[in-house]
Structure 1
Amino acid sequence: MQFILVAVLVLFTFAAAAEEAVAAEAVLPQAKPGCTDRCGNLTIPYPFGIEPDCYMTENFSVSCNTSTKPPTATWEDSPIVINNIYLAEGEMQIMHYVAYDCYDSQGPTESDKPLLTVPPFTVSHTRNKFIAVGCDTYALFRGYRADEERNIMTGCMSMCDNLDSVEQSCSGVGCCQTDIPRGLENCTLTLASYYNHTYILEFNRCSYAFFVEKDEFTFSPNTSFKDLSNTEKLPMILNWEIGEGPCDEAQKKDDYACKANSKCVNRTISDELSGYICQCQPGYQGNPYLPDGCQDIDECKVSNPCTNGRCENSPGSYSCLCDKGYRSNGTNNQSCIKEVPKNQPKTTLLLLLIVSLSVTGGFLVLFVGISWICCGIKKRKFMKLKEKYFKENGGLLLLQKLANNGGSVETTKIFTTEELEKATNNYHESRVLGEGGYGTVYKGVLLDNKVVAIKKSKGGTSIQSEQLVNEVVVLSQINHRNVVKLLGCCLETAVPLLVYEFVTHGTLYEHIHRKRSLLSFELRMKIAVETAGALAYLHSSISTPIIHRDVKAANILLDDNYTAKVSDFGASRLVPSGQNEIQTLVLGTFGYLDPEYLQSNQLTEKSDVYSFGVVLVELLTSKVAFSNDRCLASIFVSSMDEDCLKQILDDAIVNEGNIETVENVASLAKRCLRVKGEERPTMKEVAMELEGMTITA
């Protein structure tokens, strides 16, 4: 009994000694000698530091506020609190302020839209997301991308009429979210309301927007509105790096930061190699930026990697001294395998060889057979999948309706997936013509050398099969010179592909705002008349009217003769007979959206009239529909009300003369932009007025 107790005590003593050895090895220096390595609960590893000469450069200077309990670390002297520094990943977790924008019955009450100014660091596009919460909310953020020397802006919109309609996800009803472009720094945030929360004050007084680390915020309509009102900051991740060049350049410089037993890792925070970080080599741990900071890991003490043998540590690695009857694995000596006796009879070895070859041959035959069967099954599954998609997308119904409507291959062709893959070189990025909210458009060349535009949607569609088929049938029968012609579709994919005629001369947006060409006032009037005529045709001249729903300069194409072609019907809706409005989720583009549609979710033909009014204003002013957080429509209407029209007009248009026609067009645009849809003219009236102005001009 005493012997057993002594043995147990010896084992416990040995285990404790091993744990102490491992723990002692794990406590490695993180800061430079003589420098403070902690601030409260945060370890401050070099290249970061608190005192002068304790950090690599000013960019890595950390302040420690000892007046708080526990003390808190901030970047330099800013209010940005540092939660954690991830040395191996080149990342930093900070706490950043939640922006808010609040209202009462009198209007705005309080708001805070904090800047995120950390010049040497960028917002991690893989570890964060941008979220806005509210029922009358749009949130935007703008950041500077250094490698392209330009600002990038994006954001999202969230609307709802009551809490019952809010979903448990950030899908745009009560909460929205968007990905963050890579490589952004110095971000500014805009948070605003369309209607000052007038219609929703009883349950939603404030809007909120913030960057947040993924998985650190989960939206819930029952708790998030209240919780955010009491939340000052949320965690997010920033990227940091050493130097301004990649590893191959940095290693030639005197200030190369990676010390002994470490390696250099390139960072691609933006689209190009921007800098580097250091990491300890495999088998080492510690701080790669300090001399002798990367220390050997004694694998033999940390674990027992050598089963059936004794572990022997070596710098950066280990090896196994195998027990009797076992031998090394023959590659890295890091495991032991059972040894085959050398005096085994030759006949036994020969028998084993014959059996092994037989088994191997059998498996080979079996593998070839199974592979052939699998290929056949895979091919049949692929064919069945295409057939399934074709049926789900309403292919059979489409064929029936085309037959009933006298359709033929010449009017609407049903393409195969193989045809369109070949036409676009398997959707190669060099064939991309443009990207929008509803999908990507590719340039394709068919077998007969006909050039087409192929639209591939980004995701699934909520339109039911019959609605989709009706839309394709109606669009295929449209024969208007100012509407892009739908040539056919492919229904063998998860999301249908639409094939349109190819228009050669770009978009109206490119000609106005990117100065692709100088458009005279005469040409602008021609484009306005043709676009208005096309929309009037869609609204009132076909059996099933179509509301375009995304009228904007980027969706008006121009051919070589500057003939306008209305395009992109990805958001369009068919209007059933006898129905003037459609209840639907809000879709469209900032700056062009009908405010009445935004509030009520009721889509009408007058929604297109409002959007066309914005296009008219773009033609008159050469200004973009949404810029610097302000809508062009609002600025234009204010200028008209204050009798300051000439101050907002494009100087080239004013200098061309014919100011009376310009003023008439401006007056028509203002009527199109009225808040109440019932006070706006119809597209047919707009088209007639513009034609009349062209004749008298």
Structure 2
Amino acid sequence: MLREELSRDNELAETTRLFTEEDLKMATSNYDESGIIGRGGYGTVYKGVISPNNIVVAIKKAKLSEQSQNSQFINEVIILSRTNHINIVKLIGCCLKTEVPLLVYEFITNGTLSDHIHGKDIGTYLSWELCLQIAAEIAGAIAYLHSAASPPIIHRDIKSTNILLDENFIAKVADFGASKLVPRDHAEIATLVQGTFGYMDPEYFHSSELTEKSDVYSFGVLLAELITGEPAISFDRPEKDRSLAAYFISSVRTGNGMPSIIQKNLVHEEKNIQQIKQVAMLAARCLKVTGDKRPSMKEVAMELEGLKTMVEHPWVDKDSTSDHNETEYLLNESVLSDAIGSTSFGYSSIIGFDNTSIEMTRKVQFR
């Protein structure tokens, strides 16, 4: 399948390095278990060293061999070969001469964003400034996919486990196996869609219509995760709050409940609280039930970049009163009233699952 794509697409063929089976066996010491840096439903990721230049890489090896899994790997090659952005993980190449597909990526050293938010023993501290930087970088990468890539790309599985961090905490969006190139004519096509409970757009879930605004919703959940330190789905929370989106929106709407959900280690001065509230309100807009009422990722990225500039260059913000007034306005219940409703769609129906990253597949119409 991939050879056919390479033969049809000269640009894809030029940007995709083809490794031999022996290259990757040598790189991983014959896939020694000591080199495993990640496992998942898709397969296993190994750390490897490619000769002769001793380039450190991550090698994703699919499980034996489901056609759907092969298709996802091929899709990832096609998608990543069309992207060039500092905050998107770089695909170096692949191997076609093995029983299962093998993809070779740049090696990102600092784990996933989820590790740093939820990992109890990782020993790192994400300051508010760093959270804002990471959020702005992710938003910029998704905005690039939606607005600058040709054709545009919908990621379809934005979540904290799919965000890698390098040694300088630069964010890299990863895992494009479920991503979709948007048809130039935006014609409807029948497709199988994957999503993760807790991050999935409720409008998409109910209507089976996938748009760029589905990524916006998922990004809103990720922002809520950064602000609260809470997982997207948690069975440790009361039943009505198991969905972070519903829990977050409810807390923001009440206003007084907002400070209690902010991670304590993020707050160190009054101005900081106001900035966190502004980002919280941006997350609430991303989490609106109706996709048309959500901002575009380009708008989200611009707003986060503006806030990041204020953190980096505080003298830019001369009128703190207007910022405070704007935040108070955004906290008004009327602004948030339509962000409630079915935000917690269908979560009561999955009680009994013991996993916060349950994958689901549905046949949908893509618009």
SS of 2:151's partner is coil
Aligned-partner Cα distance in 2 for 1:672–1:534:
16
Match for residue 488 of structure 1 among 86, 93, 103: 93
* Aligned-partner SS, 1:543: coil
Does 2:57 match 1:452? yes
* Partner-residue secondary structure (3-state), 2:246: helix
**How far does residue 638 in structure 1 lie from its aligned partner after superposition?**
0.7
Q: 2:207 aligns with which of 593, 600, 616?
A: 600
How far, CA to CA, are the matches of 2:233 and 2:69 in structure 1?
A: 29
Which structure 2 residues correspond to residues 385-534 of structure 1 after superposition, within 5 A? 393-402=1-10, 405=11, 408=14, 411-448=15-52, 449-458=54-63, 459-462=65-68, 472-515=77-120, 516=122, 517-534=124-141
Deviation per CA, 1:456-495: give whole Å up to 9, x if none: 2234244897x97675244124221100001111122344
Q: Distance in 2 between matches of 1:654 and 1:615?
A: 19
3-state SS of paired residue (2:92): strand
Contact 1:582 1:604 in 2 (8 A): no
Residue 564, structure 1, aligned to residue 171, structure 2: yes
Separation in 1 of the partners of 2:252 and 2:107? 39
The 2-side partners of 1:680 and 1:473 are apart by 29
The equivalent of 2:306 in structure 1 is 692
Please give the secondary structure, in 2, of the residue aligned with 1:626.
coil
Give runs of aligned pairs for residues 171-570 of structure 1, distance below 5 A.
393-402=1-10, 405=11, 408=14, 411-448=15-52, 449-458=54-63, 459-462=65-68, 472-515=77-120, 516=122, 517-570=124-177
- Residue 641 of structure 1 corresponds to 253
Q: How many angstroms apart in 2 are the aligned matches of 1:642 and 1:472?
A: 45
Structure 1 residue 511, shift from structure 2 partner: 1.0
1:661 aligns with 2:267: no
Q: SS of the residue aligned with 1:637?
A: helix
Distance 2:187 2:283 in 1: 23
Q: Secondary structure at the match of 2:194?
A: coil
Listed one character per residue, the Cα deviations across residues 620-655 of structure 1 (whole Å, up to 9, x for unaligned) are 111111111611111001111221111111112233
Q: Residues 559 and 470 of structure 1: is their aligned pair in 2 closer, same or farther, counting only changes over 3 Å? A: closer
Contact residue 412 and residue 488 of structure 1 kept, 8 A = yes
TM-score, normalization by structure 2: 0.76
Describe the shift of the 1:499–1:451 C-alpha distance in structure 2 as closer, same or farther (beyond 3 A): same
Partner of 1:672 in structure 2?
Answer: 286
For residues 207 and 246 of structure 2, what CA distance do their matches in structure 1 show?
20
What CA distance in whole angstroms lies between the structure 2 residues aligned with 1:647 and 1:582? 44
Q: Secondary structure at the match of 1:627?
A: coil
Which of 566, 591, 600 is matched with 2:198 structurally? 591
Instruction: Tell me which moved more, 668-677 or 429-438.
Output: 429-438
Q: CA deviation at 1:421?
A: 2.2
Moved over 4 A (4+): 467-471, 580-583
Gaps of 5+ in 1: 1-392
Question: Alpha carbon RMSD of aligned pairs, Å?
Answer: 2.3
The whole-number CA distance in structure 2 between the counterparts of 1:427 and 1:608 is 34
Gap change, CA 1:573 and 1:461, over 3 Å in 2: farther
Q: Report the residue type matching 1:480 in the other structure.
A: H
Q: 2:326 aligns to what?
A: none
The alpha-carbon deviation at position 400 of structure 1 amounts to 4.6
Q: 1:560 to 1:675 in 2, by over 3 A?
A: same
Query: Take 1:673 and 1:444, find their aligned partners in 2: how far apart are those partners?
Result: 39
Deviation at 1:441, TM superposition (A): 1.4
- Measured in 2, the distance between the counterparts of 1:443 and 1:571 equals 23
Percent pairwise identity: 57
1:576 is aligned to: 183
Tell me if structure 2 keeps the 8 A contact 1:582–1:603.
no
Change (3 A) 1:583 1:546: same
Q: Give yes or no for contact 2:96–2:102 (8 Å, CA) kept in 1.
A: yes
Q: Which runs of 5+ in 2 are unaligned?
A: 312-367
Tell me if structure 1 keeps the 8 A contact 2:178–2:193: no
Shift of 1:549: 1.2
Q: 2:231 aligns with which of 620, 624, 631?
A: 624
Identify the residue that residue 263 of structure 2 maps to in structure 1.
Answer: 650
Q: Report if aligned partners of 1:581, 1:604 keep a CA contact under 8 Å in 2.
A: no
Superimposed CA distance per residue, residues 252-290 of structure 1 (whole angstroms, 9 cap, x where no aligned partner) = xxxxxxxxxxxxxxxxxxxxxxxxxxxxxxxxxxxxxxx
The SS at the match of 2:57 is strand
The aligned counterpart of 1:682 is 296
- 1:19 maps to which residue? none
Q: Which has the higher helix share?
A: 2
Q: Answer whether contact 1:461 1:495 (CA < 8 A) is retained.
A: no
- Aligned-residue offset at 1:548: 1.1
| Count of equivalent residues | 300
Letter in 1 for 2:254: E
